[in-house]
């Protein structure tokens, strides 16, 4: 059996760790050896504690890169700020990954938003693959897309950043007499990129014919059973965070529209006062199992994180999305475009949240769009989708 090394370098949250855990479980069940390198060992412990594989700290860039635009407009600008500004800094990160791979001796390196792991593996001649949502799996053999197309970013700015990124990466490969990268997208994709999403959720708006869509590999979130407020109003499951400036206004709008709200707000669970006090809202003291809470729900409110969003749409439940960062905004905009929900980012401060809630509850087109999505995509379970990704790993290892 083969040794597959799963690597996560960039990005935050538990989604990366959950995806790698799902892959690791299937790989182990098939008799493969597995090891992990993670951006954050501490935060992911609660997810990975029961996974019997070696875990290592990823070599990551720890410094602030001065002179970068505040509105990073492409993956090239994101990577330049994460260690790709100059050859010496990137060379140091690559040496860290090369040291890990030299000790682990993997047969295949699989990257989840881990471009430097892919670069180091290329320098050693180790086969690579990549997994993840659309955001970190850009279209191959094309310039990296603009992530802020609504801002009128100058094309020469994007081209300059991408050329710089590619020059720095190829200079490090030249140090190790390794073949250069043909384009910047390949830095994120590796030898065999796998699209672990669907076109309806793709950040770049690609269509069904633009790749082999394997579907999301999200670890089931789990949690406690739902406890709904009494009454007969529509049920709404809300997974919110205090840092979103409109979270209280949205909860108030739900109450004003007569909804019964089950809300998991981590800060409230940790002791912060509830933002809205009402008999129509139950604040859960523990994470709630979305797959149970969404059964019979009329609406989901979340920040457009992949796992909650996917589970809601697969349950045929439309979503009010309150993105908190660029990746979530692009995903919310995509879902909004085909009617699976409403991107709350288009509501200005002081806007009418009640109108959005009313539209999502009363206009059947949103529920119809979510139900159609569930019909198209709900045939295969997350385990079956994960098995499909591991099948692709094994085909790559066998040369098929």
pTM, entire model: 0.94
DSSP characters for 252-320?
Answer: HHHHHTT-EEEEE-HHHHTTPPPSS--TTEEE-SS-B-HHHHTTT-SEEEE---HHHHHHHHHTT--EE
Indicate the angle between helix axes 306-314 and 15-29, nearest 10 degrees. Answer: 70
Phi-psi map region of 86: left, alpha, beta (phi>0 left; psi -120 to 50 alpha): beta
Name which of 392, 314, 342, 311 is nearest 18 in CA terms: 311
Query: What pLDDT is recorded for position 400?
Result: 67
| pLDDT surpasses 80 at 302 | yes
Query: What pLDDT is recorded for position 219?
Result: 81
Alpha helices of the chain — where are they, by DSSP H? Answer: 15-29, 45-48, 75-79, 87-104, 115-124, 155-175, 185-189, 247-256, 266-269, 290-293, 306-314, 326-338, 353-362, 364-377, 382-398
Domains of the chain as residue ranges with CATH = 3-193 (3.40.50.2000), 235-377 (3.40.50.2000)
- Percent of the residues in the chain that have a pLDDT greater than 70, as a whole number: 100
List pLDDT tens digits, range 328-367.
999 999 999 999 999 999 988 778 999 999 999 999 999 9
Q: Mean pLDDT over residues 197-220, rounded?
A: 93
Q: Mean pLDDT over residues 115-134, rounded?
A: 97
Q: Mean pLDDT over residues 77-106, rounded?
A: 97
Query: What pLDDT is recorded for position 221?
Result: 67
Query: What pLDDT is recorded for position 341?
Result: 98
| pLDDT surpasses 90 at 192 | yes
* Confidence at 220, pLDDT banded by 50, 70, 90: confident
Query: What pLDDT is recorded for position 225?
Result: 82
Query: What pLDDT is recorded for position 277?
Result: 97
Q: Mean pLDDT over residues 54-77, rounded?
A: 93
């Amino acid at each position: 059996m083969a040794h597959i090394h799963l690597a996560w370098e960039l990005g935050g949250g538990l989604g990366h760790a959950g995806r790698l855990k799902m892959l690791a479980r299937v790989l182990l069940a098939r008799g493969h050896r597995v090891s992990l390198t993670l951006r954050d060992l501490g935060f992911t412990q609660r997810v990975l504690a029961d996974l019997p594989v070696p875990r290592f700290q990823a070599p990551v860039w720890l410094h602030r890169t001065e002179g970068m635009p505040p509105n990073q407009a492409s993956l090239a600008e994101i990577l330049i700020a994460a260690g790709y500004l100059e050859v010496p800094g990137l060379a140091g990160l690559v040496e860290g990954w090369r040291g890990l791979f030299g000790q682990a001796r993997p047969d295949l390196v699989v990257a989840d938003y881990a471009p430097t792991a892919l670069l180091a593996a290329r320098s050693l001649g180790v086969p690579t693959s990549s997994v993840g949502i659309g955001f970190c799996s850009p279209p191959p053999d094309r310039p990296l897309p603009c992530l802020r197309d609504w801002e009128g970013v100058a094309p020469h700015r994007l081209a300059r950043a991408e050329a710089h990124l590619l020059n720095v990466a190829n200079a490090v490969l030249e140090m190790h007499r390794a073949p250069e990268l043909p384009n910047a997208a390949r830095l994120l994709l590796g030898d065999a990129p796998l699209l672990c999403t669907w076109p309806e959720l793709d950040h770049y708006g690609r269509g069904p014919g633009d790749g082999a869509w394997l579907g999301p590999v999200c670890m089931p979130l789990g949690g406690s059973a739902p406890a709904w407020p009494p009454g007969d109003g529509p049920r709404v499951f809300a997974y919110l965070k205090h840092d979103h400036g409109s979270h209280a206004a949205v909860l108030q709008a739900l109450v004003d529209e007569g909804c019964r709200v089950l809300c998991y707000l981590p800060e409230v669970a940790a002791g912060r006062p509830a933002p809205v006090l009402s008999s129509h809202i139950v604040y859960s003291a523990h994470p709630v199992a979305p797959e149970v809470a969404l059964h019979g729900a009329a609406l989901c409110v979340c920040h457009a994180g992949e796992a909650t969003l996917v589970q809601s749409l697969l349950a045929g439940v439309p979503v009010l999305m309150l993105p908190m960062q660029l990746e979530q905004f692009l995903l919310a905009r995509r879902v909004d475009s085909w009617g699976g929900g409403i991107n709350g980012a288009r509501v200005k401060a002081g806007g009418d949240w009640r109108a959005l809630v009313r539209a999502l509850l009363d206009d059947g087109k949103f529920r119809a769009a979510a139900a159609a999505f569930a019909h198209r995509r709900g045939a295969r379970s997350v385990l079956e989708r994960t098995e499909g990704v591991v099948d692709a790993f094994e085909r790559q290892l066998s040369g098929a």
